[in-house]
Structure 1
Amino acid sequence: MFTESRFTVIVGAGPTGLTLARVLSRHGVPYRILEASPGPPAGSRGKGLQPRTLEVLDDLGLISDFQAIGGPYPSLLIHAPGGSFAQRMDELHEPTPSVPYPNMLMLPQWLTSSLLADGVPVEYGIRVTDLAQDPSGVRVTLDSGETIEARYVVGADGGRSTVRKALGIEFEGSTHEEERMLIADVSVTGLDRDHWHIWPGASAFRLGLCPLPGTDRFQLTAPAGLSVPEAVAFLDPSITITDVGWTSEYRANMRMASRFRSGNIFLAGDAAHVHSPAGGQGLNTGVQDAYNLGWKLAYGGSALLDTYEAERLPVAAGVLGISTRLHQRQVDGDEDAMRRDDPVLRQLSLNYRGGVLAAEHRAGMGSAGLGSTAPGSIRAGDRAPDAVLGSGRRMFDLLRGPELKLLTFGWPAGLPELPDSVVVHRLELNSAYDIQVPTLMLIRPDNYVGCATHAPEDILTYLKLLTA
């Protein structure tokens, strides 16, 4: 039998694995994070951080670091045969009390990984060669010959995941070999950095050059088969390539694992689902996977761990559908193929309503003069929004950190005895949470509403779920 410790091995040190490492660390869960590459990854790759991901970074205490280096998405400058014109992928949104980060933040992926990796003890140049498990844990064999005995293993090792293949889990979907694209990080002259420059073609676009915040480079995208200088010189000889850094050839690959859990081994990020880059969903969905899984590994109940797949697999399927539709619009050359104004892309509306961990107990009407006791617009399973609380406080200030939070809206003094892992915040009735009568809301460590009720005993019942 393997060790009964809660020790976790994370395979892969991209944004998903690094986010998971940070979540485990805040819960005091020991881990090792292994990366097959000899050093930190290069390349801009996924460069857009969605509003929900920015909220995760806020909770992890990293938002200021990201905002200091990243920047807003620039307007597109379309270099059409009849003349150039500007347009936005999505209009800029003003912050609101409930949504403090309403717009995407652009940051090349290597910088995202660098900021997430600060202080995380990544072990580079180490490959997993074999996995074996029994009910108590997992034996991980490394290419060095070392064997690690762990309670859990999380495969966050990309689309070619060694962990997923070792488990024999199907990676269902399709690869479009004919749909390939050259991606490169380049330095150029003769081009302003105020726009994302697009040269359209008969299908989708012929060339794109996007300035990358925090660097002096542009991300180049062009059809595969051309060299970087050829792709640029063919369309605009006034632009000069002065340096070519990281390059890659992307092929359209839309796939998802049939399962996200096998015993004590889990899949997250690209190891569980790969997307078209259209819509900027892949990296962000991986971060959300880690944010969902990390606290559940810390609590460690088997039934609780089952909810990782139950909650995240449907989300990944939905996101895969959205990004695939956006990709097809580009392939078809739709006139609005570059528009990204669908609110669902911001990932703020993703929810776990109806699941095991979404205990919504409010129903019916209150007594005369008390108003409705039925659920409002914020229900169990929803993201817990920000709100202005007065005296300079915000809801996110109260929610920050790894603990469970019990929000008592207009609640009288009496509450049952609660474990130390629950922090109680007494609040007035709150319009941001659409609460009109005394209400209890238990907020999960990933800042989703777990339980909403008018009966304290429901909170105690819910807490038992987390150790089942």
Structure 2
Amino acid sequence: MPQLPDTTEVVIVGAGPTGLALAASLLDRGKDVLLLDKAAEGTNTSRAAVVHARTLEVLEPLQVTGELVGRGVIVPTFTVRDRDRILMKVDFGGLPTAHPYTLMVPQSTTEEVLLRRLRALGGDVHRGREVTAVTGDAEGVTVRLADGATVRARHAVGADGMHSVVREQVGIGFTGDAYPQSFVLADVHLEWDLPDDEVQLFFSPKGLVVVAPLPGGRHRVVATVDDAPEHPDAADVRDLLVARGPRSVPARVGDVAWSSRFRVHHRLADHYRAGRIFLAGDAAHVHSPAGGQGMNTGIQDAVDLARRLADGTEDGYEDARRPVAAGVVAMTDRMTRAATAGGPAARAVRNTLLTVAGHNAAVRRNLAMRLSELALDR
């Protein structure tokens, strides 16, 4: 294991998409960076699979957007259904961007592309490096590792996820709660006669299920389940689609490439900064996967913070980014609660409201702008 430097300009803890984007963006701006991660290797899963238009825009200066688009599936439409009945179609095609679509690409691919760019810029990830203590003072930050090594930096950033050691070390609260349901997530080979260029959200009395295309002929399936199996298999996915998907279009489920069960929280850090120490990504905000906003908001945190650290305007980071995450947490919470509405009367009201809204072009455009996160700048 290579020896770490004694000093650097910025220490980043956590080498997921947020940490990789931050490190590459800082190096691209001429900053000295040390990127640490306690895991021995990067992810080989596709947990976050949605990349929105605004994220593709902010990544363009890093010269990675083209490769991501080339390796993903372009999806221009988001459709909400109550089983066979279409309630609303949201079209991204007319949005004011060079990327008027949702891009479906596995998280492992996104990390691979960002890591390659990081290495091209002269950086890398120092893996197997667990951070145990982070302390700041007026002059800088001292980061201590489990092996006893210490690094002194001008700034430090916690991009180390929901259970952030950096956030806990500096005593920043993480306000929120967990949803009662668990979520099933599976990447499967799936054949059916519905369009393959749409993300499909199905409501049903049994709960929601989302189906979206992935590269290689696979589909991402996400569903709420009261007591999900730890690793859902093809039969579990088939049962979910039979109970919640379209009755008129049977789904033929093949092998499961990857599956998981997870609990979802909706939480927001009380602050994004403690002196010279900052938070970004899931260390600062977590929320429902409804809308696929999580990784996108984190990458956008990273690019914004890199610019601010490079030009000395970091004092504006929390004011710029925390309201964005607060809005995402609120929106995805409303979407999740609407999708999991319990009784027949509540579901009928929800469906009526969505159908009425779906006939309003302004409402559809506003939702497309918010989901794509383009509404932040336009």
The two structures have a TM-score, normalised by structure 1, of: 0.65
Cα 1:247–1:267 change in 2 (3 A) is same
Cα 1:283–1:137 change in 2 (3 A) is same
Answering whether residue 31 of structure 2 is matched by residue 29 of structure 1, we say: yes
Instruction: Tell me how far 1:288 sits from its aligned partner.
Output: 1.5
Answering whether residue 255 of structure 2 is matched by residue 246 of structure 1, we say: no
Alpha-carbon distance between aligned partners in 2 of 1:5 and 1:89, rounded to the nearest angstrom: 52
Alpha-carbon distance between aligned partners in 2 of 1:234 and 1:263, rounded to the nearest angstrom: 48
Q: What does 1:324-343 align with in structure 2 at a 5 Å threshold?
A: 324-332=333-341, 333=347, 334-335=350-351, 336=354, 341=365, 342=367, 343=369
AA paired with 1:94?
G
Cα 1:198–1:306 change in 2 (3 A) is closer
Question: What is the CA deviation profile of residues 398-446 of structure 1, one whole-angstrom value per residue up to 9, with x for unaligned ones?
Answer: xxxxxxxxxxxxxxxxxxxxxxxxxxxxxxxxxxxxxxxxxxxxxxxxx
Instruction: Tell me how far 1:106 sits from its aligned partner.
Output: 1.9
Q: Which residue, out of 78, 92, 104, partners 1:106?
A: 104
Instruction: Tell me how far 1:305 sits from its aligned partner.
Output: 1.9
Answering whether residue 316 of structure 2 is matched by residue 307 of structure 1, we say: yes
- In terms of fraction of residues, the more helix-rich structure is 2
Cα 1:242–1:125 change in 2 (3 A) is farther
Instruction: Tell me how far 1:262 sits from its aligned partner.
Output: 0.7
Q: Which residue, out of 284, 292, 312, partners 1:272?
A: 284
Contact 2:207 2:223 in 1 (8 A): no
Alpha-carbon distance between aligned partners in 1 of 2:56 and 2:216, rounded to the nearest angstrom: 20
AA paired with 1:111?
T
Cα 1:260–1:4 change in 2 (3 A) is farther
Say which one has the larger Rg.
1
Answering whether residue 50 of structure 2 is matched by residue 41 of structure 1, we say: no
Alpha-carbon distance between aligned partners in 2 of 1:37 and 1:215, rounded to the nearest angstrom: 27
Cα 1:79–1:281 change in 2 (3 A) is closer
Runs of 4+ in 1 over 6 A off after TM superposition: 190-193, 337-340
Alpha-carbon distance between aligned partners in 2 of 1:89 and 1:122, rounded to the nearest angstrom: 41
Instruction: Tell me how far 1:169 sits from its aligned partner.
Output: 0.8
Instruction: Tell me how far 1:196 sits from its aligned partner.
Output: 4.7
Which residue number in structure 1 is paired with residue 298 of structure 2? 286
Which residue number in structure 2 is paired with residue 232 of structure 1? 238
Instruction: Count the aligned residue pairs.
Output: 339
Cα 1:139–1:45 change in 2 (3 A) is same
Alpha-carbon distance between aligned partners in 1 of 2:324 and 2:202, rounded to the nearest angstrom: 34
Please state whether the residue corresponding to 1:18 is helix, strand or coil: helix
- More moved, 39-48 vs 133-142: 39-48
Alpha-carbon distance between aligned partners in 2 of 1:322 and 1:86, rounded to the nearest angstrom: 21
Answering whether residue 70 of structure 2 is matched by residue 68 of structure 1, we say: yes
Alpha-carbon distance between aligned partners in 1 of 2:240 and 2:48, rounded to the nearest angstrom: 26
Alpha-carbon distance between aligned partners in 2 of 1:198 and 1:94, rounded to the nearest angstrom: 21
Contact 2:79 2:86 in 1 (8 A): yes
Which consecutive unaligned segments of at least 5 residues does structure 1 have?
Answer: 352-382, 384-468
- More moved, 267-276 vs 128-137: 128-137
Please state whether the residue corresponding to 1:118 is helix, strand or coil: helix
Cα 1:168–1:281 change in 2 (3 A) is same
Q: Which residue, out of 116, 119, 122, partners 1:118?
A: 116
Which residue number in structure 2 is paired with residue 215 of structure 1? 216
Please state whether the residue corresponding to 1:215 is helix, strand or coil: helix
Contact 1:193 1:211 in 2 (8 A): no
Which residue number in structure 2 is paired with residue 263 of structure 1? 275
Answering whether residue 21 of structure 2 is matched by residue 12 of structure 1, we say: no
Greater relative contact order (CA < 8 Å, ≥ 6 in sequence): 2
Please state whether the residue corresponding to 1:151 is helix, strand or coil: strand
Contact 2:237 2:253 in 1 (8 A): no
Which residue number in structure 2 is paired with residue 94 of structure 1? 94
Alpha-carbon distance between aligned partners in 1 of 2:321 and 2:92, rounded to the nearest angstrom: 29
Q: What does 1:336-375 align with in structure 2 at a 5 Å threshold?
A: 336=354, 341=365, 342=367, 343-351=369-377
Alpha-carbon distance between aligned partners in 2 of 1:104 and 1:196, rounded to the nearest angstrom: 9
Instruction: Tell me how far 1:123 sits from its aligned partner.
Output: 2.0
Cα 1:70–1:93 change in 2 (3 A) is same
Please state whether the residue corresponding to 1:290 is helix, strand or coil: helix
Answering whether residue 326 of structure 2 is matched by residue 317 of structure 1, we say: yes
Contact 2:203 2:339 in 1 (8 A): no
Which residue number in structure 2 is paired with residue 179 of structure 1? 181
Which residue number in structure 2 is paired with residue 298 of structure 1? 310
Alpha-carbon distance between aligned partners in 1 of 2:200 and 2:375, rounded to the nearest angstrom: 31
Instruction: Tell me how far 1:56 sits from its aligned partner.
Output: 0.9
Question: What is the CA deviation profile of residues 86-112 of structure 1, one whole-angstrom value per residue up to 9, with x for unaligned ones?
Answer: 67641142365xx32232222222222
Question: What is the CA deviation profile of residues 188-243 of structure 1, one whole-angstrom value per residue up to 9, with x for unaligned ones?
Answer: 456777255666420542x443221x333221223333443234146549755543
Which residue number in structure 1 is paired with residue 246 of structure 2? none
Contact 1:42 1:246 in 2 (8 A): no
Alpha-carbon distance between aligned partners in 2 of 1:100 and 1:116, rounded to the nearest angstrom: 20
Which consecutive unaligned segments of at least 5 residues does structure 2 have?
Answer: 119-123, 244-249, 342-346, 359-363
Which residue number in structure 2 is paired with residue 406 of structure 1? none
Please state whether the residue corresponding to 1:309 is helix, strand or coil: helix
Please state whether the residue corresponding to 1:349 is helix, strand or coil: helix
Alpha-carbon distance between aligned partners in 1 of 2:202 and 2:293, rounded to the nearest angstrom: 24
Instruction: Tell me how far 1:158 sits from its aligned partner.
Output: 0.9
Cα 1:125–1:216 change in 2 (3 A) is farther
Which residue number in structure 2 is paired with residue 170 of structure 1? 173
Contact 2:7 2:151 in 1 (8 A): no
Alpha-carbon distance between aligned partners in 1 of 2:298 and 2:271, rounded to the nearest angstrom: 15
